[in-house]
Amino acid sequence: MRAILLDLAGEAGRARAWVEDASPGASVDVLDKAELKAGGKREVLARIRSRGRSELFGIFCNRLDLQPSLVPMMVFGLLAGARRVRVGDMEGRSVERGWAGVALVELPKLAVELLVGYGAVVPLAWLSTWWLGARARRRGHRRPNDGPLDILYLRATPAATSAVGGSTSHVAGTVNAFAEMGHRVRFIANDQLLEVDHDVMPLDVVPPDARFGTVRAIFEVWNSLRFGWRAKAIARSRPAPDLVYQRYSRFNAAGVLLAVALDRPLCLEFNGSEVWVAENWDPVGQRLLLAAIERLNLRAADRVVVVSDVLAEACAKAGADRERIVVNPNGADADRFRPGVGGAELRARLFPKREVEAAADGVTEQGDEIIAGFLGTFGPWHGVDALAEAIVKLPRDIPVRFLLVGDGDRRPGVERRIAEGGVTDRVVFAGRIPHSEVPAYLDACDILLSPHVPMPDGSAFFGSPTKLFEYMAMEKAIAASRLGQIGDVIEDGVSGLLLEPGSVDELVAAIEKLAGDAELRERLGRAARATVLERYTWRASAKRATDFATAPRSEQTIKRATDCPYRNG
């Protein structure tokens, strides 16, 4: 008896336990989510069916009521030869369907949602985008008064969001720094925000609505419209803020709506083009609408805060005035991310000392090992495939073990490569952990790795990885890709080692070099933390974002890139 598992929650251990409980005694085949996203679903179906029929096709997600595209996934599971499809979530809810259930319950529901979604929701979104654009053009641009500000922070991500990752630390770092600077912050968001004191920074929650949940694009468009309407009503029931601040998200123009309705300036935090992401990493429908909403945000915002020069150039090409663009790299909380925050105890638990054989006489003794760490969401840009190859290729006589923290689409592929290479004993997969525990995990390491890879379409790397600054604050030796802003922040041989992006050989060589030279590790770590303290704290970042009194940026201050990640401007 066989069961197939598709883990959408990024919780490998919990997902496997759930499917084993749903189909006791079955062998579990884990379906590679990254392979499905890349296309080739017919080929994947053919491979699954070639292995024979299965008892169960299990889909494990964060929240059952907010998981879009479930009907297509149920049909996929049944076409793959499963007798039944079961969908479960992190909160213990589940639903099970066979062909009859899909035909009689799910397909009629899908038909209604398609009719209403494409007949009403999408046209309404186009009309709203046009109307807001016209209102924003008549309004012109604003700037807040000097002094401490009342900031209304909008965070709208219409899905069951994860409590870990760079976005979580970015939001918490930014708003906590706002508070330290004397600004007053209140939130309107889709869910609770971790590491934020809501007694000090009040929160109004607009939870996502499960209607139109069978088609992902319609689900997100509907919830973006709904969030804007609800946020407008909430904001008008409170004292007007001095500044509306929005973390940009797909299909969402709530910040523009509130800026127009309240006649207040809008600061748009733009961490990357969602159009580019949809084209290259995370496909979604309604891309013309997505591009129109993205242009609306960039052109209407009174200040556009981006994390890199490449993104600044992209925003300028998309229609944002250059004098309104501020390049503001990410940062770290250097008080929390520092040496000596529990790493020794964690290390002893995760990596108990192993007996190693002495070369001279065969007598065994306790050996001290170097721990190389990686933190990330195992996404396509994090270079985890190259890291897996480097772990396999690293000579066995180099006393290094690896701590991989995080989860995501590419984790199953990494685990397979580690197993095929016969080096599972060298690797500990920690999975997802709360951000509050990240400093201890990084503190448990001697070396920290950031092997980012080039963009799949050859465009310039536009990111500013939060983890890079947290690595540096930990005062650890870093090996990182010479890619975009990473190569500007890290000074090769001074505050870290820079590698050719995607080069397995250079990554192996850097790990060997750092593992064999404790003095070099200490010197690089000290310089890295000093750089963060000087330039890359969240307080410095928050000041750049809200200082509207700074001189306008000239065209020459934005570095020109040979290619631009925004293709629809």
Secondary structure class of 4 (helix, strand, coil): strand
Mean predicted confidence (pLDDT) in 456-484: 87
At 109, list the tokens: 């529901």
Q: Where is average pLDDT lowest: 122-126, 308-312, 362-366, 477-481?
A: 362-366
DSSP E strand boundaries for 165-289: 184-189, 203-205, 243-247, 266-270
pLDDT tens digits along 192-238 = 777 788 888 999 999 888 888 778 899 999 999 999 999 999 999 99
pLDDT tens digits along 7-57 = 888 777 888 899 989 888 888 888 777 666 655 677 778 777 877 788 899
Residue type, 135: R
Mean predicted confidence (pLDDT) in 556-562: 35
Q: Identify the pLDDT of residue 158.
A: 58
pTM of this structure = 0.81
pLDDT tens digits along 350-386 = 998 765 444 444 433 334 789 999 998 887 778 899 9
Q: How confident is the model at residue 551 (pLDDT cuts 50, 70, 90)?
A: very low
User: Cα separation of 57 and 96, whole Å?
Assistant: 10
Q: Compute the mean pLDDT over every residue in the chain, rounded to the nearest whole number.
A: 85
* 79-93, 243-257, 340-354 — most confident range: 243-257
Instruction: State the Cα torsion 494-497-500-505 to the nearest 10°.
Output: 150
Q: What percent of the chain has pLDDT over 90?
A: 47
User: Taking 50 as the threshold, does the pLDDT of residue 565 lie above it?
Assistant: no
User: Taking 50 as the threshold, does the pLDDT of residue 550 lie above it?
Assistant: no
For β-strands 150-155 and 266-270, DSSP reports them as unpaired
Q: Identify the pLDDT of residue 563.
A: 38
Q: How confident is the model at residue 566 (pLDDT cuts 50, 70, 90)?
A: very low
Taking the mean position of all CA atoms in its chain, how far away is CA 166?
Answer: 6
pLDDT tens digits along 524-544 = 999 999 999 998 999 888 888
Q: Where is average pLDDT lowest: 16-30, 65-79, 169-183, 539-553?
A: 539-553
Sequence-separated (6 or more) residues with CB below 8 Å from residue 112? none
At 263, list the tokens: 């006649």
Instruction: State the Cα torsion 120-123-127-132 to the nearest 10°.
Output: 90
User: Cα separation of 157 and 233, whole Å?
Assistant: 19
At 177, list the tokens: 């720094």
Q: Identify the pLDDT of residue 357.
A: 47
Secondary structure class of 469 (helix, strand, coil): helix
- Tally of CB atoms within 10 A around 555: 10
* 53-62, 134-143, 507-516 — most confident range: 507-516
Mean predicted confidence (pLDDT) in 412-420: 90
- Mark 226-265 as b/e (b = at least 16 C-beta within 10 Å): bbbebbbebbeeeeebbbbbbbbbbbbbbbbbbbbbbebb
User: Taking 60 as the threshold, does the pLDDT of residue 406 lie above it?
Assistant: yes
